[in-house]
Structure 1
Amino acid sequence: MKLAGLRSIKNAHNESVWAATWVAATTSRPALFLTRSLDESVKLWKSDELNLERTNTDHCLGVVAVAAHPSGVIAASASLASFVRVLDVDINASTATLEAPPSELWQMQLDPKKDPSHQIRIAARSLSCQLHGVLMGDDLLVAQCTALFSVFDVARAKFQHHLEGHFMPVCSLVYSPINPRMLFSASDDAHVHMYDAEGKSLVTAMSGHAGWVLSFDASPDGAAIATGSSDRTVMLCDLNMRAAVQTMSNHADQVWGVAFRPPGGTGVRTGRLASVSDDKSISLYDYS
């Protein structure tokens, strides 16, 4: 497996780009890449060309979190003003505004099991309660406080168990797209861990960055993970080898977001990874 640089967009935003996500393809359009920035804007980019498709500026302070529903219909963004806005992607308009707790939300996820045409549910983490990660999957919600995981049964709103292993705060959590028991975590301790979330055990730990692991994502085929770090690099890790196999140095500052494009859509090539950085840029890679 390998990454090959396709293109980079310098000054994609006027300020640091702190996170990004892919908006899935629908029957009427291909997937879009969504970025958020301290310049108060949310931008949507064409999938392969990285041409700017549209910009949303409904927030009044820097946007620090974004999430998209798997349907590709809606997305959500949270700002330093402690508001969450729900965005209809295709008409580029906010359809709802939610007031967050008295602190900014730094990570969100839309519940994939809720039909956005009827109801949405958002899991989020806030600095006010020191939650560094929140993730929903297979009826479980995983919340992380400093270096300790707490796993909850969503339907019964009941605590299940803890997961341990990191010795510094965790910045990101991702489930394996092919094995719902496998949970990955990325930490300030420069490690990525793989857990059996139901068996309560640490499967393996991987490292390779010279700084904090600020972001990561699992490939749709379940074979790899990509990580972004304060050391300004993007790293590709082979999960069979359980080791890093490639490092990309496209960015001039720390990498706050990496995201694999979800499968689906017509007329697009498979295998794309994108990264965003404090240097205000976006980089797009071919993943094969």
Structure 2
Amino acid sequence: MSYRLLHSKRDAHEDAIWSVAWSKRGNRILTGSVDDTIKIWNGDTYGETHLLEGHQLGVLSIDISPDGSTAVSTSLDSQIRFWDLMHHMKTEDRTIDAGPVEAWTAAYSPDGRHVATGSHSGNVNIWSTEEGKKERTFETRGKFIMSVAYSPNGLLLACGAENGAVHVFDVPTGRLLHSLQGHSMCVRTMTFSPDSNLLLTGSDDKRINIYDVHHANCISNLAGHQSWILSLAFSPDTTHFASGSSDKRAKIWDLKARQCLHTCNDHEDQVWGVAYSEDGSRLATVSEDRTLNIYQTSSG
């Protein structure tokens, strides 16, 4: 299996790139930047196709709906914005003013009907994508929620806090199922495995934890990065996952062997985002250095 840099787009934005998403349908790459813009890139040629404008204070996070038709973004301007990817425009009627620091990172539910956002108050807010209204609040009674993730089967919602806490909720009932131990510092990123059985979390403690979410135990604790873990993504076949760190590196890990297979050293600053293509053969990484890199992750 080979790992190599296929494409590097320098100055992809005018400022740091804090988020990236690769659509499961339509083969689009979206990047969000401190320059307040979102860009759409062709997933085959890596050329820029559209520029989306509307945020005022930098784009914190982006997620693409499961059907690939819309995207959601959050910003330091306290707004949650929805974007029509079919017509490459913002949907003005569905912009949500969430309030100061009430929408940090956003994640679509697997059915596309809801978006979850972490808040400074320690809650996870659930918003209707149809009506643009808050429908539910999951309370952790804890610290600033920095990361959120839905399980692919839609039954679980996990969130990571500023103090290292990881909470897992039952989505149908809203009940807190587990508070997972294992991190000593801020949990900035998390993702579920495609089969919904495992939860990956990345922390400022330089560790990546792998949790069995059904038995609420940490089954592995991975070290290898030299600084904060900022981003995580599972490969679609669940055999590998990728991580990005403020040590300027992205790493590809073998899940079964619990070891790093390859380290990508091409960025000049911290790696804020990692995202796999639909077939898992390529990985997009974005950085504070304003670069979008595309790697081949398999012999395919």
Fold equivalence (TM over 0.5): yes
Residue 70 (structure 1) shift? 1.2
Task: Please say if 1:160 is aligned against 2:177.
Answer: yes
Q: Unpaired segments of 5 or more residues in structure 2?
A: 123-143
- Deviation per residue, 1:223-245 (Å, 9 max, x gap): 11111111101111111210112
> Which residue is 1:4 aligned to?
4
Greater RCO, CA 8 A, separation 6+: 1
Determine helix, strand or coil for the equivalent of 1:106. Answer: coil
Q: Supply the AA of the counterpart residue of 1:237.
A: W
- 2:66 is matched with 70
Shift of 1:170: 0.9
Aligned partner of 1:121 among 103, 114, 118 = 114
TM-score for both structures, normalised by structure 2: 0.87
Give the alignment partner of residue 223 of structure 1, picking from 224, 227, 239: 239
* Per-residue Cα deviation, 1:89-109 (whole angstroms, up to 9, x for no partner): 020111220111321633110
* 1:131 Cα deviation after fit: 0.5
Please tell me the residue identity of whatever aligns with 1:173.
M
Contact kept in structure 1, 2:66 and 2:111, CA below 8 Å: no
Identity of aligned residues (%): 33
Alignment of 1:1-288 (within 5 A): 1-25=1-25, 30-95=26-91, 96-103=94-101, 105-114=103-112, 120-129=113-122, 130-137=144-151, 138=153, 139-145=155-161, 146-177=163-194, 179-263=195-279, 271-288=281-298
Partner Cα separation in structure 1 for residue 27 and residue 278 of structure 2: 8
* Structure 2 counterpart SS, 1:245: strand
Instruction: Tell me, yes or no, if the aligned pair for 1:144 and 1:170 is still in contact at 8 Å.
Output: yes
Once residues 7 and 162 of structure 1 are traced to their aligned partners in structure 2, the CA distance between those partners, rounded to angstroms, is: 40
Give, as a single letter, the amino acid of the residue that structure 2 aligns with 1:89. L
Q: How many residues align?
A: 272
Which consecutive residues of structure 1, in runs of 5 or more, have no partner in the other structure?
115-119, 264-269
Distance 2:160 2:206 in 1: 17
SS at match of 1:71: coil
1-structure distance, mates of 2:178, 2:226: 31
Amino acid at match of 1:64: L
* SS, match of residue 166 in structure 1: coil
Contact 1:80 1:104 in 2 (8 A): no
